[in-house]
Amino acid sequence: MGVAGTSSDGTRERPGLRRATIKDVAGVAGVSVGTASKALNGQGKLRQETIDRVMEAAQQLGFAPNTLAQALLAGRTASGVTWRCSGHAGSTA
């Protein structure tokens, strides 16, 4: 272990080995979650300084996108099968 709170590879250690989230990246970079998302995905018009700060924070935390969450947001599962929750008990539709 190197500097207090960092591992030998320079990434920040997290108690309980919790996976870094985009919220964590945004907090370290000092930006909103939306801005962090835009910077990581190359979307929107952001200053290069902001993009660099977000990328540095992501690297420092060892951030990796959650592919399951991305798939769910895109309306598909990790296997590529689309499913919907309609007609279940308690549904009024």
Name the pTM for this structure.
0.61
Band the pLDDT of 17: cuts 50, 70, 90.
confident
Go through the domains of the chain in sequence order and give each one's CATH number: 15-67 (1.10.260.40)
Band the pLDDT of 27: cuts 50, 70, 90.
very high
Q: What CA–CA distance (Å, rounded) separates 70 from 1? A: 33
**What pLDDT sits at residue 12?**
55
Residue 40 · residue 25 · CB < 8 Å: yes
Phi first, then psi, for residue 12 (nearest 5°) are -75, 135
Band the pLDDT of 29: cuts 50, 70, 90.
very high
